[in-house]
């Protein structure tokens, strides 16, 4: 099959890569559309030490094994493949299984290929009302919904989203469904315009995120760091209310320091946040509460995967898809 493979520090398009064989309680999925995420770009820089087929955001159709009642169904899939036996797996939190592999990220070939395999329990069937171009956003949208899962948000809470990249735009749309007091600060007028069009308040960062938010003249009960930069957390600390909460969404290679005394004195809570629940993401897309289509910058054929990755790595780039 055709696949985009990362090996020996190089990304390349390969023909004749072996089609994976589904194991017990797994299915074979013919991928139709895949999305490029910041994590893919980090992996190409060496993050996680991964080698193999890249990619973890996808929509596709189940094709095997024979007799599966999912044959022919359009599906998306959770990317963490748990052992099935530990306390985390048994409680439905296989995304925290200590023995997990992760699709296209750790120990498991990914979605930038004609075929992938996943356990049946990882799959979610996509209703007809959701187009492929929307369904491919379910995985990152679930990560945005994880914020609402982890933080008890009240309508009166003031919320600040730092960053207007892919995750920032999804987080902002999710949070707009649960707060009337939301501000998004970013650096890309084009990206912020997508939120503005949906009635979400935005501000352009005049050089540094901190300066931008301070110019807005207030502090916030909840600050979401989607900047993807080492400076984001420090900015969040300076903009959160005493007793406020910071949700940290981005992993960066650089080490970061923090004023932990401030954290103690102001009793701030810092919450690490990663993958999230698929059902609310699918529901929100089906009910058209979240609009992801304006976030698609381009669709490349799989053969041009290398070029697509370069495009996705440009500053302010939104979603680049691979048609397979």
Shortest Å distance, C-beta 100 to its own copies? 10
Q: In DSSP terms, which residues pair with 236 in a beta bridge?
A: none
Taking residue 85's Cβ as centre, other Cβ atoms within 10 Å add up to 10
- Which residue, 74 or 245, has its beta carbon nearer to its own copies? 245
Binds its own copies (CB under 8 A): choice among 74, 188, 249, 319: 249
Residue 46 is a binding residue for its own copies (CB under 8 A): no
Show Cβ contacts of residue 218 under 8 Å, excluding neighbours closer than 6 positions.
Answer: 158
| Contact in structure between 89 and 3 (CB atoms under 8 Å) | no
Residue 233 is a binding residue for its own copies (CB under 8 A): yes
User: CA 66, CA 196: separation in Å to the nearest integer?
Assistant: 48
266-305: contacts with its own copies (CB under 8 A): 266-274
Total of residues contacting its own copies (CB under 8 A): 33
- Which residue, 17 or 88, has its beta carbon nearer to its own copies? 88
Q: DSSP letter for 17, please.
A: P
Residue 264 is a binding residue for its own copies (CB under 8 A): yes
User: CA 80, CA 243: separation in Å to the nearest integer?
Assistant: 33
Residue 7 is a binding residue for its own copies (CB under 8 A): no
- Which residue, 173 or 273, has its beta carbon nearer to its own copies? 273
Residue 83 is a binding residue for its own copies (CB under 8 A): no
Shortest Å distance, C-beta 93 to its own copies? 7
Count Cβ neighbours within 10 Å for each residue of 130-149 and write b for 16 or more, e otherwise: bebbbbbbbbbbbbbbbbbe
User: CA 308, CA 8: separation in Å to the nearest integer?
Assistant: 20
Residue 250 is a binding residue for its own copies (CB under 8 A): yes
- Which residue, 129 or 269, has its beta carbon nearer to its own copies? 269
Query: What residue ranges bind its own copies (CB under 8 A)?
Result: 88, 93, 96, 98, 150, 233, 242-243, 248-252, 255-274
């Amino acid at each position: 099959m055709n696949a985009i493979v990362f090996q020996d520090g190089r990304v390349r398009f390969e023909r004749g890569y072996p089609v994976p064989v589904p194991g017990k309680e797994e299915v074979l999925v013919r991928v139709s559309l895949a999305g490029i995420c910041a994590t893919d770009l980090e992996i190409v820089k060496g993050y996680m030490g991964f080698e193999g087929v890249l990619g973890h955001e996808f929509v596709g159709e189940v094709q095997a094994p024979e007799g599966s009642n999912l044959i022919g169904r359009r599906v998306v899939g959770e990317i963490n493949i748990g052992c099935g036996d530990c306390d985390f797996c048994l409680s439905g939190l296989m995304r925290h299984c200590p023995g997990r592999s992760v699709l296209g990220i750790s120990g498991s070939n990914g979605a930038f290929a004609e075929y992938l395999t996943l356990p049946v329990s990882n799959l979610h069937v996509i209703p007809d009302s959701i187009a492929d171009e929307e369904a491919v956003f379910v995985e990152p949208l679930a990560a945005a919904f994880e914020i609402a899962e982890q933080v008890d948000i009240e309508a009166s809470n003031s919320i600040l989203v730092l960053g207007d990249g892919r995750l920032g735009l999804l987080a902002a749309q999710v949070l707009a469904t649960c707060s009337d007091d939301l501000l998004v600060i970013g650096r890309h007028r084009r990206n912020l315009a997508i939120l503005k069009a949906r009635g979400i308040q935005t501000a352009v960062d005049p050089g540094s995120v901190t300066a931008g938010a301070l110019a807005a003249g207030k502090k916030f009960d909840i600050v979401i760091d989607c900047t993807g930069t080492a400076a984001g957390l420090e900015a969040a600390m300076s903009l959160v209310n005493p007793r406020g909460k910071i949700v940290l969404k981005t992993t960066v290679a650089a080490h970061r320091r923090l004023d932990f005394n401030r954290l103690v004195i102001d009793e701030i809570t810092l919450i690490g946040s990663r993958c999230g629940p698929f059902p609310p993401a699918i529901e929100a897309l089906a009910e058209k509460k979240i609009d992801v289509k304006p976030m698609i910058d381009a669709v490349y054929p799989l053969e041009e995967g290398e070029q697509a990755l370069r495009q996705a790595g440009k500053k302010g780039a939104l979603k680049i898809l691979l048609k397979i």
